[in-house]
Amino acid sequence: MKTSRIIFHIDMNCFFASCEIAQNEDLNGKPVVVAHDDPLQRGIILSPSYEARKYGIKTTMKVRDAFRLCKEIIVIEPDMRLYSENSKLFHKYLLTITNKVEMASIDEAYLDVTDLIMSKGMDALKLANDIQQFLLNTYKLPCSIGIAPNKFLAKMASDMKKPLGITVLRKREIDKYMWPLPITDMFGVGKKTAPKLQSIKIETIGDLAKFSNYELLSKTVGEHSAKALINLANGNDESEVCYLPSNDYSSVSNAQTFDSNIYDSAVVKNTLKVLCGTVSYKLESTNRVAKTVGILVRYGDFQSFNKSKGLEKGISSSSDIYDIIEDLFDDYCKIDFGVRLVTVYAQRISENKEKNQQISMFDDMTEIEKEEEVKKILNQVKNKFGSDVIKKGYYSYKKD
C-alpha cells in the first residue's frame, strides 16, 4: 500500500511589497504597490500590498488605473536585488528543515515533509506554524501554508486563507472546500482557458470534476488539457517534489508562476533577472559553474518553449546568466500568447576550479587585477541599474 504523502506549499504573501515594507516600517499598514512609475503612470503593478488590494488593486494592473481606485497609493520602484536576497534567505531557511525543497518560484516552495511527520513524529500543524512564525519574526515576511497529500491540493490550500493562513486540505474534503470555488480560482486555469470552460457550462471546480462529456471538453480545451484538468479537479496529482539531493548538483533551476497571463515583456524580464540571481546564488554558494543555461516559458494555453545555450567556459554570475537568458527570451518568446510561467535553469555543472586556481609567476598581475576590478564594477552597476544599462560593444572594421 502506497504511503500517503504530506506536502507543504509555502506562499510568501505579497512578496515584493512585503520585502519593501520589511525594510521600511513607515510603509506598514499603507496601500503600497511595487511598479515602475513614469509621468504617464503606464507602469504595470508587480505586487500590491493587502492594504492596496482592499481597493480592488491587482497584480498586472496599470499604475494610472490603480490611482483611480485609491489616490493614496504609494508607488515603490522595484528593487530586484532586494527580492532576490530575500528569496535566497527563504530558500536557505527551508533547507534547514528538509532537503526535499522545490522552489516553485522566487516566493513559493513545496516541501515534502512525509518523513519528518511519519518517521520522526513531528506534528504537521506545529511545523507549519513554526515555519510561518520564523519567517515573520526573523525576516518580517508573512506567508500562507497549504498542507495536503499532493502538490496541487497543497497549492490550492495555501490560497484559501491569506495572509498568514495555514490550511489543511484532505482529498476526502475537496467536495466541501474546493469544488464550490469558481473555476477561475483553480490553479492551472488561466484567463484564456476559463472562458472556454464557462462556454460549456463549467462554472465551478466541482462542475469540471463531475463533467461527463469528455469528448466536448477535449474539443474545447484540447485532449491533453482536458485529461490534466479533470484529474486535478478530482484532487489527483502524482507529480513529485523536485529537489536536489545535497550531493547532486547536476542542474539548478528556479521558476515563477504568474497570477494571470503576462503580455508585457518588461514585467517578464524583471522576473527573469530575479530568477537569474537565485540560480547564480545556488551556483556561487557551492563554488560551481554551468556550461549550459536555458529558459522555459509556458503560455496560458499550456503551450511552451524550452531553449538553452551551451558554453565553452562555465559561468555563475547573475549578469552573465541574464545576458544569455534575455537573448533567448527575445529570440523565441511570443509575448502575445500570454506568459504564465518562466523557468531559468543551469546544467552541465562542475566545480569552479578557476576560483581557487593559483596565479602563475609569469602572469601579468596588473592585467588580472584590472580585469577583476572591471568585472566587479560592471556587476555592481548592473545589479543597481539593471542589465540593460550596459551592453557589450563590438569593434567593426570597415575596409575603404
The three cell numbers of residue 387 are: 542589465
Query: The cell 517534489 sits on which residue?
Result: 241
The three cell numbers of residue 247 are: 550531493
**Number of Cβ within a 10 Å radius of residue 293:** 25
Residue 29 zone, left/alpha/beta (φ > 0; ψ -120 to 50; rest): left
Cα dihedral sign, 133-139-144-145: negative
For residues 324 and 333, give the distance between their C-alpha atoms in angstroms, rounded to a whole number.
Answer: 14
DSSP structural state of residue 315? E
Residue 394 zone, left/alpha/beta (φ > 0; ψ -120 to 50; rest): beta
- Which residues does residue 290 pair with via DSSP β-bridges, in sequence order? 315, 349
Cis peptide before 180 (omega within 30 of 0): no
What are phi and psi for residue 331, nearest 5 degrees?
A: -75, -35
CB 3 within 8 A of CB 46: no
**What HEC string does 217-230 produce?**
HHHHHCHHHHHHHH
> Of the listed 51, 102, 108, 326, which one is catalytic?
108
The three cell numbers of residue 359 are: 596565479
The three cell numbers of residue 344 are: 531559468
What are phi and psi for residue 159, nearest 5 degrees?
A: -85, -10
For residues 254 and 272, give the distance between their C-alpha atoms in angstroms, rounded to a whole number.
Answer: 10
DSSP structural state of residue 365? H
Instruction: Determine the 3-state secondary structure of 368 from DSSP.
Output: helix
- Annotation marks residue 25 as catalytic: no
Query: The cell 515555519 sits on which residue?
Result: 131
Residues contacting 332, CB < 8 A, separation 6+? 297, 305, 307
Catalytic machinery residues: 108
